[in-house]
Structure 1
Amino acid sequence: MALNEQTLQEQFSLKKVLLPMLLGLSIVGYMLYRNYEPAQLQILRQASPLWLGITLLVLFIRDFGYIYRIRSVTDKALSWRQSFSVIMLWEFASCALPSVVGGSTVAAFMLMKEKIPLGKSIAQVMVTAMLDNLYFVVTVPVVLLMVGSSALPANDVVGEAIRTGLATAFAVSYLLVTLYAFLMGYALLLNPRAVKRLLLRLSRLRWLKRWRLTLFNHANELLIASQHLRHKGAGYWWRASISTAFVWTARYAIIGCLIAAFTQLALQEHILLFSRNLIYKIVLMMSITPGAAGVAEIAFPAFFGMFLGSFTTIVVLLYRLLTYYLYLLMGALVFPRWASRVFSKIGRRADQAAVPAE
C-alpha cells in the first residue's frame, strides 16, 4: 500500500473512528437490551478498587512497554514523545484496519517520517513482529500444559462442532505462526538470501499468483532488514525481548484483572483466563472487520462468560473501552499534531530547496 499524507488522512479520518465504534457499541447495546438486570448496577458499584487500579496499571505497563521497545529497537533515534506518538498511531491503525491487515505497513511509514531511513524502518518493524510471534510460540505450550483442554470454551457453551473448529483453527494458527517466526528469524539473522530465493520460487506457483508482488516485496524487505540487524549486540536483543515479554503478558492478563474486579478469582483461574485469551485473540485475528469490531463483542461471552454470568455484557463494554475505543480516540487526537509536525518539515525542506542561491 502506497502511503502519503492523503492516504494517512483517510486512514485516520472520522469515518475510520466512527464505523468500528458504532458496530461494536451497537452489538453491546443489543446484548445489554437482551440481558440487562437491575442487580447489575449494584455489582458495578461494588467493583474492587484494588483490581480496577491493577487493571489500569497493567494497561499502563503494556503501553509503556510498547513505547520503550520502539525507542529501544530504533537505537533511541526517537524521543520519548515521538515514541508515544508512533505507538498511539500504530495502535490506532491496528484498531481501524481489519485484524488480518494490521498496522505494520503504517508503522514502517511513520518511522520513515520520523527521519529513520526506509531500510531501518522496515527492519525495526520486522524485529517487533518476529519477537511478538516468538512470544506466542513460547508461551502457548507453557500455558496449555497448565490448563489443558480447559483453554477452550465448554461444549455446552459453544457446541462440540464449534469447539472442535476452534481447536483446529488454533492448532493451525500456532503452526503457521511458529513457521513464520522461525523463517523470519532465519532470514533476518542467518541467511536472508536463501529465504529470498524460497519466497521468489513460491511466488511462481500458480495458486500463489495473486500474492506474487507481495512475496517479491517481502523478500526484498527481509534482505534489507537483515543488513541493518546482523551486527546488533546482545544488549539490543535482550532489551527488545524483555520489553516484548512485558507487553504481551500485560496484554493477555488484562482480561483476568478486569474480571477479578467483579468476582473472586484463584490463581489457577487467572491462568485459565490468560490461556483463553490466547485463543480468543486468534479468533479476533481472523475477523475482516476493523479491529475485530463486532466479532470481539460476540465471542467474548463464549470465552469468559462462565466467570461473570449475566454481568458479562458490562465487562465486555469496559474491556473494549480500555483496549479498543481508547486507542481509536487517542489516535484521532494524536494524528493531527503528528502529521502537522512531520509533513510540515517536509514542506519546509522542499521550499528551501526551491529557493535559488544568490
Structure 2
Amino acid sequence: MNLDTKKILKTLNPNKIWLPVAISMGFVAWMIISDDDFTPQKLNLVFQARIFPVILAFLVLLIKELAYIYRIRTLTDKDLTWTSSVYVILLWEFASAVTPSVVGGTAVAVFILLKEGINLGKSLAYVMLTAILDNMFFVVFAPLALLLIGDSSFPDFGGTLRGLFISSYSLITIYTFIMIFALFFRPRLFKWILIKITSIKFLRRWRYAAYQHGNEVMWASSLIKGKQKRYWFKIIAATIVAWVARYAILNCIVAAFTDGLVIADHLLMLGKHLILWVVMLISPTPGGSGVAENFFIQFFNTYLNEFTLGATLFWRLVTYYPYLIIGALILPRWIRKVFFKEEKKKPYVQES
C-alpha cells in the first residue's frame, strides 16, 4: 500500500473544506434561482423546527461518534487511548468529507492509525475489518428494509435508480464476501488467485500491486485470527449502533418539520436513506456535495413540502459540516502531536 506522507497530508489539507462547501452552497443557490416561487421565508421556515427532534438529532449524532470511537478502541485491543481514538475517528470522518467516496480512504485511515502508534500490519487489519463490518451492515439490513417497505422507497426515475441500487448492492456484497473469505478462511489462496489473474497479458501492469495486496491480506489475516467471541460481539454491536444512529439522524430531522409520522413512515424513510447512502457512495464530488442535497430533496419532499430547502440545509449542517469544521481545527494539532513530538528536556548542568 502506498503511504506517501505528502500525498496523504495533501488529502487531509484543511483548505480542501472550501470545495465541498462551495459545491453544496452552489447547489442551494441554483435551487433558489430556479424556483420561481422562492421567498426568503422558505429558508426562515427552518427556525420553525420542533426543538425536541432537533436536540434528539444532535444526541443521536453524538451516539454515532461514540460508537465509532468505542469500536476503533476495541478493534485495536485498547492499543489506542481514548484521546487517540477520538483523533482517529474525527480525522477519518474529515478525510471522507473532503474526498469523493469512490476514491476511498483506506490509505488515509491506515496512515492515521500508523501515526497513532499502531504498526502497519495491525493498521491494515483494522481498516480492512472496519470496511467488512460496515459493508455487512448494509448487505444484511438493506434487503430487510426494502422487504418491509416495498418498491415505494424508489422515486420515479424511470427505473434508473433501482438499477443503480441493485448494481451497487451486488458489487458491495461480492466484494464483502470475497474479503471475508480472504481474511478469515483462505488468505494464501486469495493471494494466489490475484497473482494468477494479473498474469494475464493486459493485466500484468497490476501484478506487483496484486502481489503486495495479497501479502497485506495474509498479514492482516494472521493478526485477526484467534480473537475471542466477546471481541467480535463488542465490535459488531458497536457497528450496528453506529449505523442505526447514522440513519436515525435523518428521521429526527424530518420529524422536526413533519407532524403525524408513524412507524411505517420511519421505515419508509429508512429505506430511502439506504438508497441515498448508495448514491452518495458513488458520488464523484467530495462528501457527496450537491448530489446528496439533490437526492435528499427528491426523496423527502413529500414529507417536508415548504420546509424542504431549509430541512436540506439543516440535515447537512448536522451530518456533514461539523466534520469539515472539526477536522480543519484539530488537524494542525494532530500533525504537531504525531510529527513534532517534543523531546524531554535534559536538565542543564553547568560545566565546572
TM-score (norm 2): 0.91
In structure 2, give the amino acid aligned to 1:307: Y
What runs of 5+ residues in structure 1 fail to find an aligned partner? Answer: 353-358
Q: Give the aligned partner of residue 130 of structure 2.
A: 128
Quick one: which of 237, 240, 249 aligns to 1:242? 237
Q: Give the aligned partner of residue 49 of structure 1.
A: 51
Counterparts of 1:214 and 1:310, CA distance in 2: 52
Within 5 A, what are the aligned runs for 1:173-322? Answer: 173-205=168-200, 208=203, 211-264=206-259, 265-322=261-318
Cα 1:210/1:65, change in 2 over 3 Å: farther
Kept in 1, the 8 Å contact 2:101–2:286? The answer is yes
In structure 2, give the amino acid aligned to 1:252: Y
Counterparts of 1:320 and 1:133, CA distance in 2: 23
Counterparts of 1:128 and 1:16, CA distance in 2: 25
Cα 1:93/1:42, change in 2 over 3 Å: closer
Cα 1:3/1:191, change in 2 over 3 Å: closer
Within 5 A, what are the aligned runs for 1:108-147? Answer: 108-147=110-149
TM-score (norm 1): 0.90
Q: Give the aligned partner of residue 9 of structure 2.
A: 9
In structure 2, give the amino acid aligned to 1:272: L
Q: Secondary structure at the match of 1:291?
A: helix
Q: Secondary structure at the match of 2:320?
A: helix
Counterparts of 1:203 and 1:326, CA distance in 2: 42
1:256 Cα deviation from its structure 2 partner: 1.2
Counterparts of 2:254 and 2:203, CA distance in 1: 44
What runs of 5+ residues in structure 2 fail to find an aligned partner? Answer: 347-352
Counterparts of 1:32 and 1:227, CA distance in 2: 55
1:308 Cα deviation from its structure 2 partner: 1.1
Identity %: 42
After the TM superposition, which segments of 4 or more aligned residues of structure 1 sit over 6 Å from their partners?
Answer: none
In structure 2, give the amino acid aligned to 1:9: L
Counterparts of 2:303 and 2:208, CA distance in 1: 47
Counterparts of 1:309 and 1:104, CA distance in 2: 39
1:291 Cα deviation from its structure 2 partner: 1.2
Tell me whether 241-250 or 40-49 shows the greater mean CA deviation: 40-49
In structure 2, give the amino acid aligned to 1:199: L
Quick one: which of 103, 107, 118 aligns to 2:105? 103
Within 5 A, what are the aligned runs for 1:81-92? Answer: 81-92=83-94
Counterparts of 1:41 and 1:318, CA distance in 2: 10
Kept in 2, the 8 Å contact 1:99–1:287? The answer is yes
Counterparts of 1:297 and 1:214, CA distance in 2: 37
Over aligned residue pairs, what C-alpha RMSD do you find?
A: 2.2
Kept in 1, the 8 Å contact 2:258–2:303? The answer is yes
Cα 1:42/1:286, change in 2 over 3 Å: closer
